[in-house]
Structure formats: C-alpha cells, structure tokens
Amino acid sequence: MRAEAILQDVLTTSARDLLRYCEYRLGPDEAEDVLSEVLVAAWRRADDLPDNGHDARLWLFGIARNTVLNARRSGRRRSNLGHQLRRHHDGTDARAADAGLDVRDAVDRLEPDLAELIRTVHWDGFTVAEAARVLDIPSSTATSRYQRARTMLRRSLAPDGDAPGPAETEHRRDRAATPADRVPDRPRLRTVGSGQEVAPAR
C-alpha cells in the first residue's frame, strides 16, 4: 500500500511534465496515448518503485523514456521539433533553454545520444546526474556527453567569422606584438655649407 501511495503522489505531481516529455518527443497527437501506456507500466511495476519521492520521479521518467522508444520503434509518427515546442501548457514553457529555432535545429543535428541528453537536461529540467539515471547511463558518461554536446552546439551556433581560425589568431597576435602605427625612426638631416640637407654618416 505504501508503494501505491507514493506512486499516486508522484503521478499527481508529475503528470503534466510526463505529458510534456511525450509531446516533445512524439508530438501532441500521440502524447496522451503514450502517457497512458506509461501509467499502466508504472502501476504494473509498482513493487519496484523507490521509497524516496525524488527517486520515484526519476524512475517514472525512466519508464516514460522506454515507452517513447518503443513507440518510435513501432513506426509511430513523430512531429517535427518546431511543432512540438509550440505546444505549451502555460507560459513557463517559454523558458526552455533552446527556445530559438536555430538552437532546436542544432540540437536535432547532434548524434541521437547527445541530443536526447540535451533535451532531458534543457527541456525536462533535470540535472546531468538525474538525466543519467533517466537515460540509464553512468553519470560519468552523461557528463562527458554533455560537455561534448555543448562544445558541438557552440561551434554550430557561432556566427560566421566570430570564431577565428588558427591562422587568423596568429595574425592577430603578431599585430598585437607589433603595433601598426609603429614606424622606424626617420634619420635627422644636417645642413652642409652648400645648403643641401644630407643624412648624417653612421
């Protein structure tokens, strides 16, 4: 009975986030059906539910992840990312870290494992450590993937010309070491008896 009570509490507090999780990945037309499958699977596995509420929430999202993967493997239709992110429950969703179309496109071009980690952290609001548990990967793997994904996103989103290459960097360093306005000292001229100015002998 305690497990059922914990599960009921977690489902009540996480239902909206679970629906959004499904919508982001499958589109609004499939999200409710998939969420129903998540709930059924959770109740069937209630005996495996962690006692801690926070751990139970991560456990629940792990079930959601597997259900979404099964839905994709079944060939169910996926909506494009732009349509998924326009489906907001309320204004709080507008705070998604990758709200721009260019960022969403860049995330979509990442390797699948990297993209899903970025989505789990920035769409669903989990920490990298929590995302590792949801995705069922070691924490160290999640950390290295996250750093790699961020590096790739920075490169992908950098405006043309904003990130100088090695040759340009070396050129700038040389210019800094030798200011452009520094010119050689001009030799002073001296006047000889004929009135002609000549350079002094060195």
Express each pLDDT in 152-172 by its tens digit.
998 888 776 454 444 444 444
Q: How many domains does the chain have?
A: 2
> What is the CATH number for 26?
1.10.1740
**45 and 61 inside one domain:** yes
Encode pLDDT of 34-58 as tens digits.
Answer: 999 999 999 999 888 888 889 999 9
For residue 200, give every residue at least 6 positions away whose Cβ sits within 8 Å of its Cβ, in sequence order, or none.
Answer: 187, 188, 189, 190
**71 and 129 inside one domain:** no
- CA-based nearest residue to 145, from 157, 155, 159, 131: 131
| pLDDT < 50: residue spans in the chain | 76-86, 88-99, 161, 163-187, 189
Contact of 54 with 10, CB cutoff 8 Å: no
Contact of 7 with 43, CB cutoff 8 Å: yes
**22 and 90 inside one domain:** yes
Q: What is the Rg, in whole angstroms, of the alpha carbon atoms belonging to the chain? A: 30
Q: For residues 3 and 86, what is the distance between their CA atoms, to the nearest angstrom? A: 36
Domain-located, residue 62:
yes
**65 and 110 inside one domain:** no
pTM here is 0.59
Neighbouring-strand partners of residue 197: 191
Domain that holds residue 31: 1-95
